[in-house]
Amino acid sequence: MPIYEFQCDICGTHFERRQAFGDASTPDCPNGHQGVHRIFSAPGIVFKGAGWYVTDSRKSSPAARSD
């Protein structure tokens, strides 16, 4: 389950909650307030390029080739 960041609109408290993808509701503030919105931040990992293949991670040795 991913961890999401939230911020309270009333007191400004910034907190994190672990929620499943199917959870539709936003949690309540730890101080008891209900005006909470989700904060979007940059992902921890970024994939660039066309993709990875088995041959990308290692070089083939000359003995393995059969030309």
Q: Read off the pLDDT of residues 2-34 as tens digits, 9 standing for 90 and up.
A: 888 999 999 999 999 898 888 878 888 999 988
pLDDT attached to residue 55: 66
Domains of the chain: 1-46 (2.20.28)
pLDDT attached to residue 50: 73
Within 10 angstroms of residue 6's Cβ, the number of other Cβ atoms is 19
Residues linked to residue 7 through DSSP beta bridges, in sequence order: 14, 37
pLDDT band at 61 (very low <50, low <70, confident <90, very high): low
Which position has the higher pLDDT, 11 or 58? 11
Q: What's the average model confidence in pLDDT over 48-58? A: 68
Distance CA 28, CA 55 (A): 48
Beta strand 14-18 with 36-39 is unpaired
